[in-house]
């Protein structure tokens, strides 16, 4: 039996307006000092795929419009709400005051493995992804409500930030939708 690939016209893609008015996944992404414009664009595209509420760009993280972000985002900078702020720590504290649970995605002593992370029904989360070399700043990790770690079994124990965002956002998106 042949398994035919779908054409783009068969994918039931949302228009920008449909995306903007769609119910969002109660997740905010915080990009903390991301260097690579391609990684930033890739996270935008992933956020679009899972109807993520918003992306915050912090520190040295570049903001659209930029051709290298656009190259990998493929228009997701037009659909996903985003904002820039210099100070990620101030942002984290502000989100927590709004009862948003902030989790850094990092490797720490008391991290929860992603497969053991259980989102609460009706809660909103902010997930912090850090710099390609230094990770999430320690002061952000310390201020977070918790830390999520992607279990890794190989010799590197290091994933590209765009890959990490894809893995974590898919997992959290799936778990939140299962609570509905």
The tens-digit pLDDT sequence of the chain (180 residues) is 899 999 999 999 999 999 999 999 999 999 999 999 999 999 999 999 999 999 999 999 999 999 999 999 999 999 999 999 999 999 999 999 999 999 999 999 999 999 999 999 999 999 999 999 999 999 999 999 999 999 999 999 999 999 999 999 999 999 999 998
Please indicate, yes or no, whether the overall pTM of this predicted structure exceeds 0.95. Answer: yes
DSSP labels, the chain: ---PPPPGGGS-PPPHHHHHHSPPEEEEEEEES---HHHHHHHHHHHHHTTEEEEEEETT---SS-HHHHHHHTTHHHHSEEEEES-HHHHHHHHHHTTEEEEEES--TTPEEGGG--PPTT-EEEEEEEBTTTBS-HHHHHHSSEEEE----SS-----HHHHHHHHHHHHHHHHHHT-
The CATH number that domain 21-150+157-178 falls under is 3.40.1280.10
Domain boundaries, the chain: 21-150+157-178
């Amino acid at each position: 039996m042949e398994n035919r690939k779908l054409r783009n016209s068969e994918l039931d893609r949302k228009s920008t307006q449909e995306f903007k008015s769609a119910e969002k996944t109660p997740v905010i992404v915080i990009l903390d000092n991301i260097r690579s414009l391609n990684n930033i664009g890739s996270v935008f595209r992933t956020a679009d795929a899972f109807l993520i509420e918003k992306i915050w760009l912090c520190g040295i993280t570049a903001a659209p419009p930029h051709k290298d972000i656009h190259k990998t985002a493929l228009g997701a900078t037009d659909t996903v709400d985003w904002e820039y702020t210099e100070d990620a720590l101030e942002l984290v504290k502000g989100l927590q005051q709004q009862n948003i649970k902030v989790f850094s995605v990092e490797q720490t002593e008391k991290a929860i493995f992603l497969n053991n992370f259980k989102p609460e029904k009706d809660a909103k989360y902010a997930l912090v992804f850090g710099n390609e070399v230094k990770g999430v700043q320690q002061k952000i990790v310390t201020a977070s409500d918790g830390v999520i770690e992607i279990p890794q079994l190989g010799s590197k124990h290091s994933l590209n930030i765009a890959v990490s965002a894809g893995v974590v956002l898919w997992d959290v998106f799936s778990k939140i939708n299962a609570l509905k």
